[in-house]
Amino acid sequence: MKILTVNQLTKNYAGEVPVEVLKKMNFTVETGEFVAIMGPSGSGKTTLLNCLGTLDQPTSGTILLNDENPATYDKEKLATFRRQQLGFIFQNYNLLSPLTVAENIMLPLTLDHGNLTEMESRTRELMAELGIEKLANKRVHELSGGECQRVAIARALIHDPSLILADEPTGNLDSKAAGDVMEILQQLNQTKKVTTLMVTHDPISASYAKRVIFIKDGELFNEVYLGESREAFYQEILTVLSHLGGGRHEFSTTHLA
């Protein structure tokens, strides 16, 4: 069942020389899929994620999530849609330093004025699931990068969103923490069918997904699917990247552990 449908998505930015960043892009995401998006710098990855996350409006085309078109909503309804239907995981975590770990995780439910007892129960459940229950009363500055990202994942999941959007979730992490975070995202997808769309420059992180969509100059370039072997999938990703171009410094080519 399709949860996300992108149809003829175009995004232009005005200026002395108008720039067409996304060019009539079409793709769908099935419920429970884990999809990675890769492409060189300037290919339109971030713009695409911003449009999908309703943080930016398409110039033309449609984005349907559960058959809803949020581009037609007023500001208040759009904010509610974003808060209830989408979960965000950012490279820089975007946690609020004055709040404790538990308060950061609970924040989306607080904004919806949820029942306090139910919010606390759900928060404890997620923290236990992600192995961060001992961090509940700590502040952000006391956490490692990997711990911060686990908290961010818990916050993204707290309200059971239809779609998780992850923007370079391992970009600020060392290889061990990055692997831990990707294993968590993969496990959540496998066991809870959490639909996830992740932008990444790292082919190792991308190999945890079930499908990788490659974009170049705002257009779909190619896509590959996970088969029975993750190692073979990783090698296939590297092969496409070698044809995609964009400079070797943009993509990690470290072998799988």
Amino acid 60 reads: S
Residue 163 is encoded by which pair of tokens? 């779609």
Q: Which secondary structure element, helix H or strand E, spans residue 63, and what is its range?
A: strand 60-65
pLDDT of residue 55 exceeding 50, the answer is yes
Q: Which residues contact 8 (CB under 8 A, 6 or more apart)?
A: 24, 25, 26, 60, 61, 62
The structure's pTM equals 0.92
Find the radius of gyration of the CA atoms of the chain: 18
Distances (CA, A) of 182 to 72, 166, 241: 34, 11, 20
* C-alpha span between 182 and 188 (Å, rounded): 10
Mean pLDDT of the chain, nearest integer:
92
Burial class (CB in 10 A: 0-12, 13-18, 19+), 120: middle
Mean pLDDT of 50-57: 94
* C-alpha span between 181 and 228 (Å, rounded): 22
**Residues 204-249: tens digit of each pLDDT:** 999 999 999 999 999 999 999 999 999 999 999 999 999 987 544 4
pLDDT of residue 253 exceeding 60, the answer is no
**Residues 133-157: tens digit of each pLDDT:** 999 999 999 999 999 999 999 999 9
3-class SS of residue 246: coil
Q: Which residue has the higher pLDDT, 257 or 77?
A: 77
Q: Are 21 and 44 in contact (CB under 8 A)?
A: yes
What's the pLDDT score for residue 251? 58
Q: Which residues contact 142 (CB under 8 A, 6 or more apart)?
A: none
3-class SS of residue 204: helix
Model confidence band, residue 252 (pLDDT cutoffs 50, 70, 90):
low
**Residues 25-41: tens digit of each pLDDT:** 999 999 999 999 999 98
* C-alpha span between 246 and 216 (Å, rounded): 9
Model confidence band, residue 24 (pLDDT cutoffs 50, 70, 90):
very high
Q: Which residue has the higher pLDDT, 111 or 169?
A: 169
What's the pLDDT score for residue 249? 47
Model confidence band, residue 110 (pLDDT cutoffs 50, 70, 90):
confident
